[in-house]
Structure 1
Amino acid sequence: MTKTFNYSNPVEIVFGNGRIGELNRYTKDKKVLLITSHGFRERGIIDKLGETNQFEYILDNVRPNPTLSQLNYQYETIKNVDFDLIVALGGGSVMDTAKVLSLQTKGWEYTEDLIKYASGKVADDKITPIIGVPTTAGSGSELTPWATVWDDANRKKYSLHLKNLWFKTCICDPEMTYSIPMNITIQSGLDALSHALESIWNINANPITRQYAVSAAKRIIVTLPKLIRYNNDSFYRQEMMFASMQAALAFSNTQTSIAHAMSYYMTLERGIPHGIASSFTLPAIADAVKGRSEEVDNDLLDIFGEAPSNVLRGMLNEIGVSHRYGDYGIDEEDWNKIEESLSLTNRTQNSIVKFRQVLDCLKSSSN
């Protein structure tokens, strides 16, 4: 066991069925900006929240994988709105958008300055407090201090990471996940599994993150296939949200690793949904890490038993997700470009194995 380590996560967690009813405890006497996506207005959820909460403005045009151009437009939309609290209702893209728009600045060139922040500039500006209400069990963004931003013009991905970008509170109500489509349930669940495993084969892992990660992964491999058959089962929805929370508590301190580093190119250039892009490589990575760390071997044995990669492939097959990269249209040229792209993210450096070791296992398992 590691003898010295640090662990910190300052976010208040409010967990359980029906806890969304307590949102007004946090919004009372506040000037609230609600950030969400249009689907929640269509499904009547915004109107229901509006019965007990007052919103100064509702920004409901968040789309998947927020881009610099979208964020610039959204900033121009709300920069003159007087608000002192943000409520972020949605999945990871909504959470990331809320973090970016929480930066309170005066007279800046939004796109240009955002890139500076994402490149490591420390913010002196006021950051508006955020209450997160996740509606997917997967992204974990409500428990981390960074946001993913896509530069659609220059085909790049940025990670906005500021030390004070943590949410104030997240309300994790499993009932909020009932209305999401099955494909999003699968993708977000696999993202959570990837978060858990990525925080295990990670040079930043410590005893606390390992405990969270192992528990999360155990829950997900049992629960996610059950949700395919019992979509709105209260117990399984609660188990998935709890597992997602545990995975986030793990990777909020380790960051992600090689699977996520490889996934960014796949999402940006091949349009593969993030949850799939960050998870179909997991069986090959499990093979690649075998024997490289006693702690990692023991954790994977605890989660999967004697054959981790086989269990992972079996689970992916059960939920209809291929582990073969050829099924996603990825070829040798793509792998070369993915290898080049890894220099643009520090997530690669968190891995206990190298890219080529993973690629060898990917090719072997895809034959």
Structure 2
Amino acid sequence: MSRGADVTPTHWAHFNPVRIAAGVGALEHLPQWVQPQVKVLLVTTAGFSRRGVTDRLLRLLGEQRVVVHDRVTPNAQLDEVEHAAVSLRDQNIGAIVALGGGSVLDTAKALSLGLCSTDAHPFGNVFRAGRPQTWTEAVPLYAIPTTAGTGSEVTPFATMWDRTTHKKHSLSGERLYPAVALLDPDLTLSLPLEETLYSALDAISHALESLWNKNRAPVSSALAFRALAIAERALPRVLATPDRVEARANMQHASLLAGLAISQTRTAMAHSVSYPLTSRCGVPHGLACSFTLPYILRANLDRVAEHAEERTVLAAVLELLERLDLGTRMRQYVSGREILGLQDEMHAQGRIENFAGELPGGLPRLLEESVR
């Protein structure tokens, strides 16, 4: 891969059907989007129920027509999602509202497919028995992200984790695009500082991964660079003053733009490395997919930047990542030796192939340098 200008394809296409509404108080506008009279499944966590946000949504939508599923746990588990899909099928759900972070949105997306299936094991038969993904219907989904990181509110992907096999699985397809994404920065204020950081790192990873990517195109690149420019300024402010809603809104904006970018390109090397670290070692996804970014970015900065202003943005992002000392944070979860021992599991199909950059010294050197 040579200069950034050389990676722009001769032919490219861009499609994203998600309607986006953002701003303080955006949650209050939910009823205007959700079709009236249909039964609604609210997918969230017990924490939002305890804090009263679930009750707020029940009042907005009408309590009598809402079924609440608030048992979502971190890193959506295949068996748990499948059980929920089968047990909720007789509820005649006509819309799903997802309130939460990436795991909630992933769960809701999977349920939007699973509720329309008659299979007793809709996900197990795909990911364990090897059947093809042939989803013909999906329940309309309304996504309300409460973290600034995954960008799942605007992507056609959902992730599930299989604790039996320690594998990560991906659902994908246009039916997984939410109908509407509502971004209310007030909902991110309660997120603890460490989760705020790791969510933001996930967003930064998405933006960078869409740049050193064989599927990169002019629109995705513009989205990614704008996301990075915003995140580089917003993240330090959020960490310094986490109750400042303006900084939270900016970080949410950056996450959205990065999500729009990967909705076209998917992810690449850094995410391929991350999956076994999360599934086997419990490393938070945002940290697992970002600790290798400084090394990859140093090796490819001049290759993915087409203009001086883009190089300036990337240099500022690199400085921020180095200042966060991600290698030290990784060693709080897993040793360097353990990381090197998982190399054989770091070749995720599709992610490695998407990587269009250079990796001096290959995977071993990437890992060694990243955990120093």
* Alignment of 1:71 onto 2:95: no
Q: Secondary structure at the residue paired with 1:84? A: strand
Match of 1:39 in 2: 47
Q: 1:59 aligns with which of 69, 82, 88?
A: 69
| Structure 1 residue 333: Cα displacement | 5.4
Cα 1:212–1:232 change in 2 (3 A) is: same
Match of 2:362 in 1: 357
Matches within 5 A, 1:239-258: 239-258=250-269
Matches within 5 A, 1:126-141: 126-141=137-152
Q: Secondary structure at the residue paired with 2:243? A: coil
Match of 2:275 in 1: 264
Q: Secondary structure at the residue paired with 1:23? A: helix
| Structure 1 residue 363: Cα displacement | 2.7
Write the letter of the residue equivalent to 1:182: L
Match of 1:123 in 2: 135
Match of 2:180 in 1: 169
| Structure 1 residue 114: Cα displacement | 4.1
- Determine the C-alpha separation between the residues in 2 that align with 1:118 and 1:200: 32
* Alignment of 1:102 onto 2:112: yes
Match of 1:343 in 2: 347
Match of 2:15 in 1: 8
Match of 1:204 in 2: 215
Q: Percent identity?
A: 34
Q: Which has the higher contact order (CA 8 A, sep 6+)?
A: 2
- Determine the C-alpha separation between the residues in 2 that align with 1:333 and 1:60: 34
Write the letter of the residue equivalent to 1:312: L
Write the letter of the residue equivalent to 2:122: Y
- Determine the C-alpha separation between the residues in 2 that align with 1:214 and 1:111: 35
| Structure 1 residue 312: Cα displacement | 2.3
- Determine the C-alpha separation between the residues in 1 that align with 2:56 and 2:307: 48
Q: 2:336 aligns with which of 297, 316, 331?
A: 331
Cα-to-partner distance string for 1:171-215 (whole Å, 9 max, x where unaligned): 111111112211211111111111111111111111111111111
Cα-to-partner distance string for 1:153-173 (whole Å, 9 max, x where unaligned): 111111111232111111111
| Structure 1 residue 297: Cα displacement | 8.1
Write the letter of the residue equivalent to 1:161: S
| Structure 1 residue 116: Cα displacement | 7.1
Cα 1:270–1:119 change in 2 (3 A) is: farther
Cα 1:119–1:247 change in 2 (3 A) is: farther
Cα 1:327–1:51 change in 2 (3 A) is: closer
| Structure 1 residue 51: Cα displacement | 1.5
The question of whether the paired residues in 1 share the 8 Å contact of 2:211 and 2:304 is answered with no
Q: Secondary structure at the residue paired with 2:86? A: helix
Cα 1:195–1:117 change in 2 (3 A) is: farther
More displaced, 89-98 or 20-29?
A: 20-29
Write the letter of the residue equivalent to 1:9: N
| Structure 1 residue 144: Cα displacement | 0.6
- Determine the C-alpha separation between the residues in 2 that align with 1:242 and 1:217: 10
Cα 1:269–1:298 change in 2 (3 A) is: farther
The question of whether the paired residues in 2 share the 8 Å contact of 1:17 and 1:175 is answered with yes
Write the letter of the residue equivalent to 2:299: A
Write the letter of the residue equivalent to 1:36: T
What runs of 5+ residues in structure 1 fail to find an aligned partner?
Answer: none
Q: 1:195 aligns with which of 193, 200, 206?
A: 206
Write the letter of the residue equivalent to 2:351: R
Matches within 5 A, 1:12-27: 12-27=19-34
Matches within 5 A, 1:275-294: 275-291=286-302, 293=303
- Determine the C-alpha separation between the residues in 2 that align with 1:113 and 1:190: 33
| Structure 1 residue 330: Cα displacement | 3.3
| Structure 1 residue 302: Cα displacement | 3.1
More displaced, 100-109 or 6-15?
A: 100-109
Write the letter of the residue equivalent to 2:107: T
- Determine the C-alpha separation between the residues in 1 that align with 2:243 and 2:331: 33
Q: 2:224 aligns with which of 210, 213, 217?
A: 213
More displaced, 254-263 or 179-188?
A: 179-188
Write the letter of the residue equivalent to 1:245: L
- Determine the C-alpha separation between the residues in 2 that align with 1:360 and 1:68: 33
Write the letter of the residue equivalent to 2:33: Y
More displaced, 244-253 or 160-169?
A: 160-169
Write the letter of the residue equivalent to 1:14: A
Q: 1:234 aligns with which of 245, 269, 274?
A: 245
Cα 1:118–1:278 change in 2 (3 A) is: farther
Cα 1:92–1:311 change in 2 (3 A) is: closer
- Determine the C-alpha separation between the residues in 1 that align with 2:178 and 2:284: 25
Cα-to-partner distance string for 1:116-142 (whole Å, 9 max, x where unaligned): 798752323x21000001111111111
Q: What TM-score results when the alignment is normalised by the length of structure 2?
A: 0.89
Match of 2:322 in 1: 313
